[in-house]
Structure 1
Amino acid sequence: MGKTFIIDNKAENQFLVNREAFVDQAIFEQERANIFEKCWIYVGHESEIKNNGDFHTRTIAGKPVIFTRDAEGEIRVLLNTCTHRGSLVCRGEQGNCKTFLCTYHAWSFKNSGELVGVPMEKDGYAETFDRKALDLHRVRNESYKGFVFCNFDDNAISLEEYLGGAKVYLDYVADQSAAGMEVLPGTQKYAIRANWKLLGENSIDGYHVGYNHKTYLDYISDEGQDISKGLYGEGKALEGGHAVMQYEAPWGRPIAKAQENWSDEKKARIAAKRAELVELYGEEKARMIADISRNVWIFPNLIINDIVSVTIRTWDPVAPDYMEINAWALGPVDEDAKERELRLDNFLTFLGPGGFATPDDIESLETAQLGFKNTVKQVKWSDISRGMHREVSPTTDEKQMRAFWRKYDSLMNAEEKAVQETNA
C-alpha cells in the first residue's frame, strides 16, 4: 500500500497534508527517486555562461554538476565526477576553461565531456580500452526563455510540455526588456533547518505577510506606501504542480515616498520603457509585466519572485529537516547604473538572507519543523483547506499550495498507481 500523503475531500472542502512528509527519512529518499530523478530541475540562466568555456559548479538534487558552455557554444550539464575513480573533476565555483582535470590521477576532459587525457595510457591499458565509454556523463538539459533546466530521466517529457501553463508567467519575467534579461553577479547562499517543501509553500503564501512581516510593512508605510489593500490579487493553481500568486505592483517596494516625488528624468525613462513594452507585446501583456507583481512556483523547487526585484531562488534538499538555498537577482541587460543599484538594494533589503523578509520566513519555517516533532499519532495532518469553497482565490487562500501537493501525491504514488492500472 502506498502512503496517504493528502486527503483531498472536495465535497467537504477539506484538504489535509500528512506531516510525515516533512520528517520521515524513507519518504525523503522516495522524493529523491520519484520527484528529483524524474522532474525538470532548474540549473541556471544562460546569461551566467555567456562565453564559450564559462562554467559554474552547482549541486542539483544532491548531485554535483558542472553547468557550462562548451567550446562550440553548446550548453552542457555534466556530472562532476571522474569516470575513473569518482573524484570531482572541477572544484572551482565558477570560471572559464577548455578542460576539466581530475587532480587524483590527472584524467582530463573537454568542457563538452569527452575524455581527452589519460596518463600512461598506452602501457597501462589493453587495446580494448574505450575512451569514448568514459566520457563525463551528460545530463539532458533544455531551456526556456534563458532558464536552463536538467532532467535525469532521459524518457521525460520536454521542458516546454512540463512547464505548461507556467510558461506565460515566465514570459512576463523574461520579456521585461527587448535587450534581454541577465543574472547579476553574485549569489546569495544560506541554509534553513526545515523541510524543503515548506519554503515552496511560504513563497506563494499571501496569508502570512501581514503578520509575519509586520516590521517591513510598518517601514514601507512610513516611507509613504499605501498598503491598505494588502496583497490585492489572486492565487492560481497551474497544471503540473506549478502555481502563481499575483497582485498589483508596486506594493511592497520601498521606493522614494510616492511616484509624484520622482524626477522628470525618471518619469520619462519609465514612460519610455512602458511604451516599448506596449509596442512589443500590446497593452495587456505590457500591463501584466509593468503593473502586476508575481511569485511563481515551478514544481518542485524553483521560485521566481518578481516583486521588489526579480529574484531566482532555488533550494536543494539535504535531509528531511535541512535544505540549502541559492538566490540570484535578474535584471534587464540595458538598465542604467542607478536602476541597477536600486534593483540590487531591493533584492538585498527584502529578500536577502539578512533582509526584512527572509529572516522572518526562516524563523517561521524552522519553528514549524520543530512543531512537526508532534506528528504521526498526535497531530498527523496539516490543514491546507483555506479558500477551497471558492472558484477564484485571493492571495491569502491556499489553492496555490494544493496544486503542489496534488502533483506531489501523484508522483510519490505513481508506481503503485501504474501497478493498479496494469492489474485492472
Structure 2
Amino acid sequence: MTSISRTSELPRVSTALLDAAPATDNRFPLVDEDTDQHRFRVHRSTMTSPEVFRAELDRVFSHSGLYVGHESEVSRPGDYVRRPIGGRPVFMVRGAKSGRINVFHNTCTHRGAVVCRQPTGNAKAFSCFYHAWTFDSEGRLMGIPDRDAYGGELDLAALSLRPVARVESYRGFVFASFDPDIQDLVSYLAGAVEYLDLVIDSTDGEMEIIKGVNEYCIEANWKLLAENSIDGYHAVSTHDTYFKYLLALGTDLAGGVNGTSYDLGNGHAVLEYRAPWGRPIAKWEPLFGEDSREEIARMRADLISRHGEVRGSRMADANRNLLIYPNLVVNDIMAITVRTFMPLAPDRMDVTAWELAPRDELAQLRQRRLDSFLTFLGPAGFATPDDLEALESCQQGFTSGGVEWNDISRGMARTPAANDEAQMRAFWRRWSQQMGTAGYGERESR
C-alpha cells in the first residue's frame, strides 16, 4: 500500500464541506492512493477550500512551466500580447533590437501600474499612463518626465521592467516560470515533447496561431477542467447530442473510443485514440468535407512517405487530447486547439482557447478549420457547453456535503484504456507532490 502524504503543515482547511460535521483529531492527505486495493481518492476540499486555492498559486503556479503564447503571435519586432499566467499579469513582446521574445512582469517599476494595457498590438515603447514612465520593447527604461527632479543619480538600468525568472520556447510554444531554479523546458515537458512534435512535424514545423480567441468563464474549480480535458469516460454520456448528430450523418460509431492514455511524467498526460471510429478518413472529414476523399488520401500518403507508416498514420488518423501540467491543453482532433485555464477562485476559472494551423494553408481549408474549431470546441459548440454544464454541476454538488472523496480509481486493476482514469491520476500525483500537506484537513465524523 502506498499513500501520498507529507509532514510539513499549512493552516487547516476550512470549507463548508469540512465544517458540515463535527471534526475529529485525525489528519489525512488530500490525495490518497492504495495500490493494493486499486483505490485512488481525492478529497473534495481540494475543489472548495480557499486555503488550498491560495496555496496552489504559490506552490503549483509559481513553480511550474506556464504557457504564455506562441511565437507566431509576436512575429514582428514590437509585437506583443498581454496575458495573465498563474494569477499574475505579464506580457510577451518581441524585442525590436534583439529579436528575442521577452516576457515581463506587467507592472511599472515606479509605482506599480500596469504598463501594457491592450491585449495585443505592436509598439515601439510602453508608457505607463499613471506618471508616463516609458520602456522600450527590451524592457529598458527610456524616459521619465521631469527627470531633473531626481538629480544626476538615477539608475535607469535598475528601474527597467522586470523579466519573468525563466522564459524558454519549444518549437514555437513559449513557456515562462516564476521559479529561477526550474528545470530546463525540454526536461520539464518530458514525454509531452513527443506529442507536440507530432502536431508540429505534420506541417514541417510551419504553424501559426490564427488571429481571434475564445474566452469564457466557468463557475468551477480549475482542476475539474484539467481532468475533463483528458477524460474519455464521459464522452458518450455527456456529449450525447454530438453522437446523435454523427449517427444522423451516417457515421459508424460501433467501435466507440478506441485508444489508450499515458502518463508522460511531471504531471503531463495524454489521451490518444482513433478518430470516430477507426476510419483513416474520419479525422479530416470535418476539415475537408466528405467530397475531398481523394485529397485526404493524398495528404495521408504524403505524411506516411515523409514520416514512415507508424508515425505518419498517427499524425493522420489519431486524435490526441494532451494536458501539459498544470493548465495547458492541446487538442489535436478535428482542429488543433490550444487552451489554457486560469484559476480565479476555488470555484471559478477563466478559459482561453486559440486555433493552431499550418501557415499559409489554402483559404478554403482555413475556413473549414475555423468552422470545426467553433462547431465542436467553441463556447457554443457541440462539446464545450456540455462540459461546462458538467463541471459546474460537480462544483454545485460539492457544496452538498455528505461525501468526502472523489473516486479516480477506474482502470487501476488493468492496462489503462481510453475511458479509464490513469491520466488523471498522473495529474493528481504531481499536484500532491508540489502541494505537500497544503490543505490538510479534518475528516468528517462517521
What's the TM-score, normalizing by structure 2? 0.88
Q: C-alpha offsets along residues 83-112 of structure 1, whole Å, 9 cap, x if unaligned?
A: 001111121111111110101111000111
- Structure 2 residue identity aligned to 1:22: M
* 1:195-344 correspondence to structure 2 within 5 Å: 195-251=221-277, 262-263=290-291, 266-344=292-370
Secondary structure of 2:190's counterpart equals helix
Deviation of 1:269 (Å): 3.1
Contact 1:254 1:346 in 2 (8 A): no
Where does structure 1 lack aligned partners over 5 or more consecutive residues?
Answer: 417-424
Deviation at 1:270, TM superposition (A): 2.5
Judged with a 3 Å threshold, the aligned counterparts in structure 2 of structure 1 residues 114 and 151 are, in CA distance, closer, same or farther, namely same
Report the Cα distance in structure 2 between the residues aligned to 1:62 and 1:258, rounded to whole angstroms: 35
Deviation at 1:250, TM superposition (A): 4.9
- AA of the residue aligned to 1:59: P
Partner Cα distance (2:183, 2:285) in 1: 46
Q: How many Å separate the matches in 1 of 2:182 and 2:246?
A: 45
| CA separation of 1:132 and 1:251: change in aligned 2, threshold 3 A | farther
* Corresponding position of 1:421: none
Tell me what 1:419 maps to.
Answer: none
Structure 2: runs of 5+ lacking an equivalent: 1-6, 10-27, 440-446
SS of the residue 1:17 aligns to: strand
- Kindly state the Cα deviation for residue 272 of structure 1 after the two structures are TM-superposed: 3.6
Q: Is the 8 A contact 1:179 1:333 kept in 2?
A: no
Of the candidates 413, 424, 429, which is equivalent to residue 406 of structure 1?
A: 429
Residue identity opposite 1:41 in structure 2: L
Inter-CA distance 64–177: structure 2 relative to 1 (3 Å threshold): same
Once the two structures are superposed, residues 251-307 of structure 1 have per-residue CA deviations (whole angstroms, 9 ceiling, x without a partner) of 496976999x844xx344333423432343222211111111000000000011111
Q: One-letter code of the match for 1:142?
A: E
Which of 151, 156, 160 is 2:186 aligned to? 160
Match of 2:418 in 1: 395
Deviation (angstroms), 1:415:
9.4
Write the letter of the residue equivalent to 2:147: E
Q: Which residue of 2 aligns with 1:60?
A: 85
Q: Give the superposition deviation at 1:335.
A: 2.1
Give the equivalent residue in structure 1 for 2:46: 21
1:95-149 CA distance string (max 9 Å, x none): 1111101011110001111111111112x11333211111111112111121111
Corresponding position: 1:91 with 2:117 = yes
CA contact (8 A) 2:233 2:419 kept: yes
- Please, which of 117, 125, 144 is the counterpart of residue 143 of structure 2? 117
**Aligned length in residues:** 409
Secondary structure at 1:238 match in 2: strand
Taking structure 1 as reference, are residues 83 and 258 closer, same or farther at Cα in structure 2, changes over 3 Å only? closer
Q: What is the deviation of 1:77?
A: 0.8
Give TM-score scaled by structure 1 length.
Answer: 0.92
CA distance in structure 1 between the aligned counterparts of 2:261 and 2:298, rounded to whole angstroms: 31
Over the aligned positions, Cα root-mean-square deviation in angstroms equals 2.0
Amino acid at match of 1:87: A
Q: Call closer, same or farther: CA 1:161–1:414 in 2, change over 3 Å.
A: farther
Match of 2:159 among 134, 149, 153: 134
Residue aligning to 2:126: 100
Return structure 1 stretches of 4+ with deviation > 4 angstroms. 250-259
Quickly say closer, same or farther: Cα 1:271–1:179, change in 2 above 3 A.
Answer: farther
State the distance in 1 between where 2:152 and 2:287 align.
Answer: 75
Pair 1:300–1:258, CA change in 2 (3 A) = closer
Q: Secondary structure at the match of 1:229?
A: coil
- Deviation string 1:238-258 (CA, Å, 9 cap, x unpaired) is 211110001012549697699
Aligned residue for 1:36, secondary structure, equals coil
Taking every aligned residue pair, what percent have the same amino acid on both sides? 46
Task: From the superposition, tell whether residues 240 and 184 of structure 1 become closer, same or farther in structure 2 (CA, over 3 Å).
Answer: same
Structure 2 counterpart of 1:163, one-letter code:
L
Task: State how far apart, in whole Å, the 1-side matches of 2:256 and 2:372 are.
Answer: 19
Corresponding letter in the other structure for 1:64: P
Contact 1:250 1:293 in 2 (8 A): no
Cα 1:127–1:257, aligned 2, differ >3 Å: closer, same or farther? closer
- 1:214–1:59: structure 2 CA closer, same or farther, 3 Å change rule? same
Tell me which of the two structures has the higher relative contact order, counting C-alpha pairs closer than 8 angstroms and 6 or more residues apart. 2
Deviation at 1:65, TM superposition (A): 1.0
